[in-house]
Structure 1
Amino acid sequence: MESFVDSVFEEMKDVLSKFVAESKHFLIAAAQEIANCFMEEGKVLIFGNGGSAADAQHIAAEFINRFKIERPSLPAIALTTDTSVLTSISNDYDFDQVFLKQVMALADEKDVVWGISTSGNSPNVINALRFAANNGIKTIGFSGKDGGMMKGLCDLLLVVDSDNTPRIQEMHIAAGHIICELVDEIMFGRFSDMLEM
């Protein structure tokens, strides 16, 4: 069993090494986009399925409460938490529309729509991103594998170079934390000169 654990850690190190080399420009650009959204009194809508739903809720909480520094609450909404909305849309229409209908109701051009899918092909994530992209709303995506259908729908797309879902998810939450910290520093800290006015 120790050798199995060692092999998991080795895989994690390999994925992390590629992630570090390939993600820096994306992380900075995503943080700048989100900071500018907040400064323009927009909000961030975040969504995904399963572990990605948990990541959406986790990241939204970091913005609304705080991350590492004391600062005002920032408007972020996880579209994965309202059971009445999720079940009514799934029951009356289709589960593929659970994020689409929320984005249609809540998003406008000042906002950022942030979809998370380890395959890049989750139909409910794709439908919401497509609507946002077609309506002039900024889109950010977290994916894995080859990026899937998200590639053509996101203004900024992070693709984790792995076919292993747990490794992809680990990089997604690391990326989410880095973006949260960068947004804090852009809006309230050492990088405030990077805000677009």
Structure 2
Amino acid sequence: MTDDELNQDLEERVITLFHQSLEAKMESGEILAPMLVAASQTLVHALLSERKVLVAGNGISAANSQILVNCLTNRFERERPGFPAYALATNPTAITAFASDTSFNDIFAKQVMALGQEGDVLVLFTTSGNPSNLIQAVAAAHDRNMEVLAFTGRDGGNIPALLDEQDIELRIPVDSRARIHEVHLLSIFCVCDLIDNQLFGPLEA
């Protein structure tokens, strides 16, 4: 295979990946739209009640957690007051202490128990729905009378069975981890847009 042929194959693969991403987003959007509205309303109610948002995830999902927190505490697409939100995967001192003293499974639950209050919201990001530290975080949130928004993928894993009636699961119905992360990111932007729209009105063009 010549260099030109190789480059053409790689370029075609890039185009295929873009198409797969678009297809995953379109398929998920039809399913997620009402749940994204409900999730945004849950967060708006908490913020108007002077409650806070705790966000957790592992790996790339931890990065998505930080993006959500940045969009809430700083800004999304307009200047506005910041909202109280905390990413639970960003403090290596706390995480390594919890993991060393007890178990890695406790790294989020202990923070939820320490920081969470009734009326706060716990937001989770996971492609599989199975990480033990997120499962423990759900239990801790319920102990604190917090609502849970769980962004999952595939078949949802173990987390859906743990959710209460007031909780919301936003499941991405695809198998690819990359596509799930991409739709999670788009969902974050949708939720932030809906929050700003509800609190401050439509953004003028």
Q: TM-score range by the shorter chain?
A: over 0.9
Q: What is the aligned-residue RMSD (CA, Å)?
A: 1.3
Are the counterparts in 2 of residues 139 and 153 from structure 1 also a CA contact under 8 Å? no
Select which of 100, 108, 112 maps to 2:109: 100
The residue type paired with residue 48 of structure 2 is M
Question: Does residue 138 of the first structure (1) align with residue 147 of the second (2)?
Answer: yes
Decide which of 159, 163, 168 is 2:171's aligned counterpart.
Answer: 159
Q: Which entry has the higher C-alpha Rg, 1 or 2?
A: 2
**How many angstroms apart in 2 are the aligned matches of 1:6 and 1:81?**
34
What is the letter of the counterpart of residue 33 of structure 2? K
Q: Which runs of 5+ in 1 are unaligned?
A: 192-197
Task: Name the residue aligned to 1:178.
Answer: 190
Q: Aligned in 2, Cα 1:107/1:15: closer, same or farther, shift over 3 Å?
A: same
Q: Deviations over 1:21-61 (max 9, x none)?
A: 10100110000000110000000000100001011111101
TM-score by length of 1: 0.93
Residue 181 of structure 1: CA displacement?
Answer: 1.1
Taking structure 1 as reference, are residues 157 and 6 closer, same or farther at Cα in structure 2, changes over 3 Å only?
A: same
Partner of 2:61: 52
Is structure 2 residue 181 aligned with structure 1 residue 169? yes
**Could you say which residue in structure 1 is the equivalent of 2:127?**
118
User: Is contact 2:40–2:192 with CA below 8 Å preserved after alignment?
Assistant: yes
Q: Report the Cα distance in structure 2 between the residues aligned to 1:147 and 1:162, rounded to whole angstroms.
A: 11
Q: Which residue of 2 aligns with 1:147?
A: 156
Maintained 8 Å contact 1:133/1:153: no
Between the two proteins, what is the percent identity of the paired residues?
36
The answer as to whether partners of 1:46 and 1:114 remain within 8 angstroms in 2 is yes
Residues of 1 paired with 2:202 and 2:22: CA distance?
30
Cα contact 1:112–1:138 (8 A) shared by 2: yes
Structure 1: 4+ residue segments shifted above 4 A? none
Aligned to 1:189: 201
Question: Helix, strand or coil for the counterpart of 2:65?
Answer: helix
Report deviation, 1:134. Answer: 4.4
* 1:80-105 C-alpha deviation (Å, 9 max, x unpaired): 11111001001111111100000011
Contact 2:116 2:144 in 1 (8 A): no
Provide the rounded CA distance (Å) in 1 between the counterparts of 2:48 and 2:107.
28
Matches within 5 A, 1:1-20: 1-20=10-29
